[in-house]
């Protein structure tokens, strides 16, 4: 497993919001966690990345993850947060270069060209301020900036949030393409149908616990998942 989460508990003060979650990600696969708003999905991602204290074990490539966020990033983990957190007043290219701050100048140049090949629209707009991009372009920039660190594990928080259905398909196709180049992905999504279409494995999170788990195609046929998350009643 590239990521192995064991019995993870996360609390805000005395209120525990993630209760004993365990999941694993095999190299080169996409694992999705779906669920309603407030289920604990974002908190789970933040804890895995080290942004929030937790109890339990998080192993990356078979070893306990480093303590700091910076060390986890250097080890090959990268989080793309729900709000994307771009530098709106900076250019597209400056945002991308900042994503590779841990790399050498030569590595940054090489990876920048790779990102531009993957996202031609960003190359067209490389001088444009990030804050003037469309929603889909901002999400591409957030993904491109993450790729500048050359991650082996990408944590994606609601990449479809606020995007039109056609753009959602484009973004999730990009996510699927990343799997083909060996990037492992933990995908948190409220858009259950889109997430299960692209993922290899899936988990349904409710009230801080994983209620259903299994191959994504099987979850998409689970009557309880269909009725609650896919928007229609099971036959």
The string of pLDDT tens digits covering residues 86-120 is 999 999 999 999 999 988 999 999 999 999 999 99
pTM for the full predicted model: 0.91
- Does residue 125 surpass a pLDDT of 70? yes
pLDDT tens digits along 26-46: 999 999 999 988 899 999 999
pLDDT of 105 reads 92
234 pLDDT band (50/70/90 cuts)? very low
Helix pair angle (92-99, 135-147), 10° resolution = 30
Among 143, 197, 205, smallest CA distance to 165 is for 197
The answer to whether residues 96 and 144 touch, using CB atoms and an 8 Å cutoff, is yes
Exposure on the CB side of residue 213, measured as CA atoms within 13 A: 10
Instruction: Name the least confident of 26-35, 173-182, 226-235.
Output: 226-235
In order of their start, the domains of the chain are 1-76+151-235 (3.40.50.300), 86-150 (no CATH)
Measure the CA–CA gap between 218 and 195, rounded to whole angstroms. Answer: 13
Token pair in block for residue 144: 């491109």
Diameter of the chain by CA atoms?
Answer: 57
Percent share of the chain, pLDDT over 90: 77
pLDDT of 233 reads 42
Using CA atoms of 235, 203, 41, 22 in order, give the dihedral in degrees to the nearest 10: 150
Among 77, 74, 98, 101, smallest CA distance to 87 is for 98
**How many CB atoms lie under 10 A from the CB of residue 136?**
18
Measure the CA–CA gap between 145 and 131, rounded to whole angstroms. Answer: 15
- Does residue 229 surpass a pLDDT of 80? yes
Which residue blocks in the chain are alpha helix, DSSP H?
41-49, 69-75, 92-99, 105-118, 120-124, 135-147, 165-180, 192-198, 216-219, 223-229
């Amino acid at each position: 497993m590239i990521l192995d989460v064991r019995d993870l508990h996360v609390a805000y003060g005395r209120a525990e919001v993630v209760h004993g979650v365990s999941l694993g990600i095999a190299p080169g696969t996409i694992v999705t966690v779906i669920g309603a708003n407030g289920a604990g999905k974002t908190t789970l991602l933040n804890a895995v990345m080290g942004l929030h204290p937790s109890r339990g074990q998080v192993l990356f490539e078979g070893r306990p993850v480093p303590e700091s966020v910076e060390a986890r990033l250097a080890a090959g983990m990268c989080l793309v947060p729900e709000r994307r957190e771009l530098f709106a007043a900076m250019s597209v290219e400056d945002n991308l270069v900042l994503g590779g701050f841990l790399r050498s100048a030569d590595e940054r140049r090489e990876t920048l060209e790779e990102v531009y090949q993957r996202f031609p629209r960003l190359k067209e707009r490389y001088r444009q301020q990030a804050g003037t991009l469309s929603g889909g372009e901002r999400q591409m920039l957030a993904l491109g900036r993450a790729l500048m660190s050359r991650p082996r594990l990408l944590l994606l928080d609601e990449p479809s949030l606020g995007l039109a259905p056609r753009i959602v398909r484009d973004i999730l196709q990009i996510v699927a393409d990343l799997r083909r180049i060996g990037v492992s992905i933990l995908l948190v999504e409220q858009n259950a149908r889109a997430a299960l279409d692209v993922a290899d494995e899936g988990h349904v999170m409710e009230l801080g616990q994983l209620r259903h788990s299994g191959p994504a195609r099987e979850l998409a046929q689970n009557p309880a998942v269909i009725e609650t998350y896919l928007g229609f009643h099971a036959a």
